[in-house]
Structure 1
Amino acid sequence: MGAQIREYRQRIRSVSATKKITRAMELMAASRVVKAQQAVRASSPYARALTRAVSAVATFSDVDHPLTTEHEQVRRAAVVIFAADRGLAGGYNANVLKESERLVQRLRSEGKEVVPYLVGRRAISFYSFRRREYAAEWSGFSEKPTFEHAREISERIVADFTADTGTGGVDEVHVVFTRFVSMVSQEAEIIRLLPLEVVDEFQDAAEAKANGASMPLYDFEPNAEELLDTLLPRYVAARIFNCLLQAAASELAARQRAMKSATDNAEELIKKYTRLANQARQAEITQEISEIVGGASALAEAK
């Protein structure tokens, strides 16, 4: 009986130590997710405005830029996967990796060769464990991404997109990341980054232009080609930076929920083991009393 009580108390101490860790991680995630949300809100208007500007230049000019031109035959497709550097975030990493697997299967069913680009240690370990090849990797900043990280990723992607497929280039670029909707909702999402897709408000104008309809006149200074050369790399970097910020906020929100759930489960376990330890202690006391009473009765009968 005493050994059972010691075991319950040891389990209580172990669960209590785990509870302290999960509680601390919950508070850290809660403090960081606020800044991450603010960063997402601050970057989204710039990303949307830059997308509108690039789409307008691409729609109302006759310049065929490498980053906006559809390839006649798509042989190689790049898939950029944004995952976390750490676990303990519920289903965050599993969801984005499952979405990337569905995208990879769809692209391969279309006869395209998939070239993965991995962001985050969880995505890297997922591919390394399965002995899969990938083109490039970045890690160490999933919770606190900066624009320099986005610029580094975008420069590699643009360089591979503009290169010939025979020398390792790609014909299109897809991005798989987790969009931050709210503290309780984060959704894995797929977007095609390159070649540039015209945003919805310019879609009708692009179709009318293709049908030969008269279009409004726009003046581009110095010229449309130089504007696209300047705007498109910034557009790619801004979109990737926004994806990084969305993923960071989603990761922190998912970790906060997961750690809160773990803390609540630890409290329930502590209550359970405390109750079992009390029951074992009560049973031990009852047994001792029974032994004393039995011994006293035996002595009385012997006299």
Structure 2
Amino acid sequence: MPGAGELRVLRRRIRSVKSTQKITKAMELIAASRINRARRAVEAARPYAVLITEAISSLAVASEVGEHPLIAPHESVRRVGIIVVTSDRGLAGAYNTNVLRRAERLAKEEREAGREVVIYSLGRKAETYFRYRQQAPAASWTGIADQPRFASACEVGDTVMEAYTGSEVDRVWLVYTDFKSAMTQVTAVAQVLPVQPQQFEGGTAYPPQFMFEPGPDDILAELIPRYVQHRIFAGLLEGAASEHASRQRAMKAASDNAGDIIEDLTREANRARQAAITTEISEIVGGAEALSGRK
């Protein structure tokens, strides 16, 4: 029969779970507020992607865009780079697990095709994951996943573009999480390098009265690296929004589970308290009967 000792243990557990629930509830609210900010950043970046693609498409009509070193494919693909976008912090549900699993699957496919894989990690989770598996990243960046900045994307872009033009890698993939909505995020893979020229087909040439200074080729030489940098920046923004959405859901589930545990423990504590009271009453009644029997 449960006693006073067990009742104290149950009450202590209830206080502990309530304390944890306060933390998860606070983290849920913080993540919810950050989702809105991250979603606005994603939406603000999309028009830039559309306009720079249109500009390159129109300039490509008057230029040999396929000869640009970031567009021209290498003769053979022996080494591929994989940029993996994860978070710096945990407690985000399956967000990091899904990205890392997709990156591993892509790396396995490339190795089975006889290619060497080079990892570029964004986020502490990716860096830790690959180092633990003796696959130290060629370059890693931390502290930028939560609130991505374009300058950080430029740094990543410059690194992989230099590796591509220097023939250190022959293709570069980006593995990230595509933010569809607060409830839906999908792991995605996009080819960053070489830039696929099909994206710029069907452009309308600028009218003849337009004069370019410098010429179209020089402008493209500036725009295409910007396009690559923005592609990586978009992946970072999508990943940040997805991370916050995943963390909000995970913390809500944790808060709900804590509530269920508190209810179960409270019922158990009530039963223990009732049993303790019953035991005390029985002892009192038994003592009273024993005293009356002596008279």
> Under TM normalisation by the shorter chain, which class is it?
over 0.9
Q: Give the 3 Å change call, closer, same or farther, for CA 43–216 of structure 1 in structure 2.
A: closer
* 1:15-26 equivalence runs, <5 A: 15-26=17-28
Aligned counterpart, 2:108: 105
Q: Do the aligned partners of residues 282 and 42 (structure 1) sit closer, same or farther apart at CA in structure 2, a change above 3 Å counting?
A: same
**Structure 2 residue 84 is matched with structure 1 residue 85:** no
Residue 291, structure 1, aligned to residue 280, structure 2? no
Could you tell me which runs of 5 or more consecutive residues in structure 1 were left unpaired when the two chains were aligned.
207-214
Note closer, same or farther for the CA distance 1:69–1:58 as it changes in structure 2 (3 Å cut).
farther
**Structure 2 vs 1, CA of residues 48 and 199 (structure 1 numbering), >3 Å: closer, same or farther?**
farther
For 2:104 and 2:15, the matched residues in 1 are separated by 41
Amino acid at match of 2:286: G
Q: Equivalences for 1:186-201 in 2 at 5 Å?
A: 186-199=185-198
Equivalent of 1:275, from 254, 262, 267?
267
| CA distance in structure 2 between the aligned counterparts of 1:52 and 1:110, rounded to whole angstroms | 35
What amino acid maps onto 1:153 in structure 2?
A: V
Q: What is the alpha-carbon distance in structure 2 between the residues aligned to residue 171 and residue 60 of structure 1? A: 27
Map 1:1-303; keep pairs closer than 5 Å: 1-58=3-60, 61-63=63-65, 64-164=67-167, 169-199=168-198, 202=201, 221=212, 222-303=214-295
Structure 2: gaps of 5 or more residues: none
Structure 1 runs (4+) greater than 4 angstroms displaced: 215-220
Distance 2:70 2:186 in 1: 28
What SS class does the counterpart of residue 73 from structure 2 fall into?
coil
Identity of aligned residues (%): 46
Q: CA RMSD in A?
A: 1.9
Distance 2:82 2:61 in 1: 26
Distance 1:52 1:60, change over 3 A: same
Query: Equivalent residue for 1:212?
Result: none
CA distance in 2, matches of 1:76, 1:228: 27
Can you list the C-alpha shifts for 1:190-246, whole angstroms capped at 9, x where unaligned? 0001111134572xx59xxxxxxxx97987823332122110111111111111110
List per-residue Cα deviations over 1:136-182 (Å, max 9, x = no partner): 00011211111111111111111111113xxxx11111000000001
Please report the TM-score for the alignment, with normalisation by the length of structure 2. Answer: 0.93
